[in-house]
């Protein structure tokens, strides 16, 4: 069997171009493998080889999705690979969305995609039907197990000529698609057995897990914003200069509550960002571009809003677990209610 021809997708960081300051680069193609791609090539042996690597900045991809997808589609058409490997992206939100976006394009071209992702990464839920996503840890510290797990799945896929078994058998995350298979027992019998097990408080496994739609219905709107007390909350990591609470640049373990009483605008002298997931240059130069205190103060003075709440809340939404974000927001919401805040503007980077 001929060697599988693979195209590898990487962001600017793993593509060894640079950090956040390079997150705005447009997609480009390099020959051969780069960074984690070298490890894939070693693990894949004579079965498959990364022939080209496509690299794109995480911000560029997400801000110009249609354009980037069209460019990648063209490049995949030119290279005509047997498979695409994307990432692994771990819990990096923009990178996960990019890997998923690449998978969507490859899927349209009929090219199989293997990627690696942390299940809470929004890229997984959004694009799960387009790729075989191997579960990884939430940070790149898990690279050592992510790479062999992804390589194993690629090898199995090649060995089985694309006829992969169920997610848990082969080691990929559920794709939310249904496939016809032959079962030993007919449906009615399986259903009754499940019901009996449930009645006996025994373990059973549903054949159709219910999707988890955790949605909150929209709250009634403000009647008149001119009378309302409005608070600012951000996941963009804006903190007083020096980051007094030491909020981490990624996977934040806390949030901060900071007074803006008597502050009329954010300045580079008083505030900065603690966020490690985007290029901080702009936010440090003008923190108002993440937390619009200046504009809201003007509106308060002009009577366009009732009052800007004396405190703002901030955390770093970079690789932060859903459970933590949820807990922070519950505490914040309770305080805001106690302080009589009627509406919130939440900004994200």
Partner 1 sequence: MVKEIERAGIPVVHIATVIPISKTVGANRIIPAVAIPHPLGDPKLAKAKQKEIRKVLVEKALDALQTPIDTQTVFE
Q: Which residue has 């950090």 as its token pair? A: 19
Instruction: Give the one residue of 105, 292, 312, 319 binding partner 1; rule: CB under 8 A.
Output: 292
Whether residue 7 contacts residue 40, with contact meaning beta carbons closer than 8 Å, is answered with no
Least distance from partner 1 to the Cβ atom of residue 237, Å: 11
Instruction: Give the one residue of 189, 241, 246, 326 binding partner 1; rule: CB under 8 A.
Output: 326
Least distance from partner 1 to the Cβ atom of residue 125, Å: 6
Residue 94 backbone class (left: φ over 0; alpha: ψ -120 to 50; beta: rest): alpha
Instruction: Give the one residue of 180, 188, 206, 330 binding partner 1; rule: CB under 8 A.
Output: 330
DSSP class of residue 310?
S
Site for partner 1 in 28-57 (CB under 8 A): none
**Lookup: tokens for 300:** 């308060």
Give yes or no for residue 294 binding partner 1 (CB under 8 A). Answer: yes
Name the phi and psi angles at 209, rounded to 5.
Answer: -60, 135
Alpha helices, H only, the chain:
36-44, 58-63, 65-79, 93-108, 122-127, 143-159, 167-170, 187-199, 281-285, 293-301, 322-338
Give yes or no for residue 349 binding partner 1 (CB under 8 A). Answer: yes
Q: What interhelical angle do 36-44 and 143-159 show, nearest 10?
A: 40
Instruction: Give the one residue of 9, 311, 312, 328 binding partner 1; rule: CB under 8 A.
Output: 328
Least distance from partner 1 to the Cβ atom of residue 284, Å: 10
136 or 234: whose CB is closer to partner 1?
234
Residue 277 backbone class (left: φ over 0; alpha: ψ -120 to 50; beta: rest): alpha
d(CA 35, CA 314): 34
Taking residue 232's Cβ as centre, other Cβ atoms within 10 Å add up to 22
Give yes or no for residue 245 binding partner 1 (CB under 8 A). Answer: no
Give yes or no for residue 344 binding partner 1 (CB under 8 A). Answer: yes
Site for partner 1 in 185-214 (CB under 8 A): 214
Give yes or no for residue 72 binding partner 1 (CB under 8 A). Answer: no
Which residues sit at the interface with partner 1, rule CB under 8 A?
A: 20, 23, 59, 62-63, 93-94, 97, 122, 125-126, 214-225, 228, 230, 233, 235-236, 278-283, 285-286, 288-290, 292, 294-296, 298-299, 304-305, 315, 317, 325-326, 328-330, 332-334, 336-337, 341-349
């Amino acid at each position: 069997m001929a060697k599988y021809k693979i195209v590898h997708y990487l962001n600017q960081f793993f593509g060894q171009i640079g950090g956040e300051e390079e997150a705005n680069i447009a997609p480009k193609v390099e020959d051969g493998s780069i960074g984690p791609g070298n490890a894939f090539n070693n693990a894949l042996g004579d079965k498959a080889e990364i022939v080209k690597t496509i690299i794109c900045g995480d911000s560029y991809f997400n801000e110009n999705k249609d354009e980037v997808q069209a460019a990648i589609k063209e490049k995949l058409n030119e290279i005509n690979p047997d498979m695409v490997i994307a990432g692994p992206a771990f819990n990096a939100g923009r990178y996960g969305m990019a890997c998923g976006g690449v998978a969507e394009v490859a899927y349209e071209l009929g090219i199989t995609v293997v990627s690696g992702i942390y299940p809470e990464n929004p890229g997984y839920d959004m694009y799960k039907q387009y790729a075989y996503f191997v579960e990884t840890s939430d940070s790149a510290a898990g690279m050592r197990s992510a790479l062999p797990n992804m390589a194993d799945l690629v090898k199995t896929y090649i060995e089985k000529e694309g006829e992969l078994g169920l997610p848990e058998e082969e080691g990929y995350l559920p794709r939310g698609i249904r496939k016809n298979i032959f079962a030993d027992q007919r449906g009615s019998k399986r259903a009754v057995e499940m019901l009996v097990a449930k009645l006996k408080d025994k373990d059973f496994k549903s054949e159709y897990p219910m999707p988890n739609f955790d949605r909150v219905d929209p709250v009634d709107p403000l009647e008149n914003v001119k009378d309302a007390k409005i608070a600012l909350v951000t996941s963009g990591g804006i903190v007083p200069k020096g980051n007094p609470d030491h909020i981490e640049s990624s996977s934040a373990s806390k949030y901060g509550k900071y007074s803006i009483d008597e502050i009329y605008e954010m300045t580079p002298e008083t505030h900065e960002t603690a966020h490690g997931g985007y290029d901080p240059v702009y936010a440090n130069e003008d923190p108002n571009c993440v937390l619009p205190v200046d504009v809201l103060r003007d509106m308060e003075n002009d009577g366009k809003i009732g009052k800007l709440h004396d405190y703002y809340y901030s955390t770093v939404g970079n690789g932060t677990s859903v459970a933590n974000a949820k807990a922070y927001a519950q505490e914040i919401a309770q305080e805001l209610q106690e302080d009589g805040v009627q509406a919130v503007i939440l900004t994200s980077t």
